[in-house]
Amino acid sequence: MARRQFVAASAAAASTPTLATARAGFPWAANETYLNTATEHPLSKRTAAAMKEYLDALVNGPDAEREKFENGRLMTKVKEMFAALINAKPAEIGFTPSTQTGENIVLEGLGVMTGGNVVTNDLHYGGSLLNYRERRKQGLDTRIVEHKDHVMDFRDLERAVDRKTKLVAIALVSNVNGYVHEVRKIADLAHAHGAYVYADAIQAAGAVPVDVKAMGIDFLACSAYKWLMGGRFGYLYVREDLQERVLKAKLFGGRTTPKGASRYEISTVSHLGCVCQSEALAYIHALGVDRIRAHTRPLVERLAKELPALGYPCITPKGNDSPIVSFALKDPAVAKAKLKKAKVVVTLGGYMRVSPSVFNDMADVDRLIAALA
């Protein structure tokens, strides 16, 4: 191989992300045992470097430097990468400030307040449930199906859906316990009744394989700050044939277009978020969601197996395939003190949620188990 070719090949290999080198890319992992991606993903050095470059351009100019980051090409590239991640077309993706904004756009666009009912369940995100309860006060027939042992019993959902159902709304992967909904079955049920399916994918996109076509998802929204590894803005997917015909645009602004899912956009998008996502999505694609899942699977499986024996019953069903696993807590204050002392970060409320990502390894799991033992 000619020297120049060799140098180029070595440089490419050195910069090709692999799971083996992932930890080094996330310095946070060296400072404390961070097992809390379901709350927020740390930024990688590579992503932060791109964002710093953009911030420098905003501080120092000149204008041409700023324009390298604030342009349609970058936004198009980001949409294409997100579309590829969920098996959608770029024209089916709009930017949205957040997951919940996306869900509200869907509710308003479907005209749920004008009649019919919406079916959801209590493994959906708390903020979304608040949304549905507020809408119930304003007259929406809201049906919140209750889980059984932290699993959605499909028969209970079947009983709630009828010919007046306009939408079935789920968190594809529940933030409560990582439960992965049987979305294809839910979509078939909804469609058979003339209803549509909305999936909140903030705990799914980047964490588990998502294929909107195979899953039968009609609308989907997510922010990028969890499993998409950063950028405080989000995406709205609207199935192409439902745009405008079924889901009306209700809010308009400078970014509203006559065609495509950007018809649901309103204002200038977060360019900093876009720069961040451009790096983060390229990284996720280079690693591959299947391989990311394979990396975290043994970590959550070990926790699910060992923590119950230490007095922490697992509230994530057996065989569930997501990187989130949760446990009931007898005494949250005791668990909190132990984990704080050991510098282990998880989500602690009435229960404990552990959510490893690419930068975690089995030694992190050892530290968590040792802290709680």
Ligand X SMILES: Cc1ncc(COP(=O)(O)O)c(C=O)c1O
Positions 134 through 193 that interact with ligand X (CB under 6 A) = 171, 175
Using rule CB under 6 A, residue 105 touches ligand X: no
H or E stretch covering 236: strand 234-238
Number of residues that bind ligand X (CB under 6 A): 12
Give how far Cα 224 sits from Cα of 42, 235, 275, 298, Å: 12, 8, 12, 25
202 binds ligand X (CB under 6 A): yes
Q: Is 356 helix (H, G, I), strand (E, B) or coil?
A: coil
Q: Which amino acid is at 284?
A: I
Is residue 100 close enough to count as binding ligand X by CB under 6 A?
A: yes
Helix (H) or strand (E) holding 365: helix 362-372
Shortest distance, position 208 Cβ to ligand X, whole Å = 13
| 282: amino acid identity, one letter | A
Q: How far is CA 247 from CA 80, 139, 162, 189, in A?
A: 22, 20, 20, 20
Structure tokens at 70: 């604030």
Least spacing, CB of residue 179 vs ligand X, in Å: 11
Residue placing its CB nearer to ligand X in the complex, 200 or 218: 200
Of the candidate residues 203, 277, 326, 360, the single one contacting ligand X (CB under 6 A) = 203
Quote the least distance from Cβ 219 to ligand X, whole Å: 14
Asked if 329 and 335 touch (Cβ cutoff 8 Å), the reply is yes
99 binds ligand X (CB under 6 A): yes
Tell me which residue has tokens 């024996």.
Answer: 309
- Minimum CB distance to ligand X smaller for 117 or for 203: 203
**Cα-based angle 184, 187, 190 (whole degrees, multiple of 5):** 155
Among 98, 131, 165, 243, indicate the residue that binds ligand X (CB under 6 A): 98
Bridge partner list, 325: 354
Does 37 participate in binding ligand X (rule CB under 6 A)?
no
Q: Which uninterrupted H or E stretch holds 213?
A: helix 212-215
> Residue 143: which of 127, 131, 132 has the closest Cα?
132
- In the bound state with ligand X, the residue whose beta carbon lies nearer, of 57 and 203, is 203
Site string for ligand X, 125-144 (x = CB under 6 A): x-x-----------------
Query: Of the ranges 3-11, 17-25, 92-100, 212-220, which one interacts with ligand X (CB under 6 A)?
Result: 92-100
Counting contacts by CB under 6 A, is residue 234 touching ligand X? Answer: yes
Residue 322 near ligand X by CB under 6 A: no
Binding region for ligand X (CB under 6 A): 98-100, 125, 127, 171, 175, 200, 202-203, 223, 234
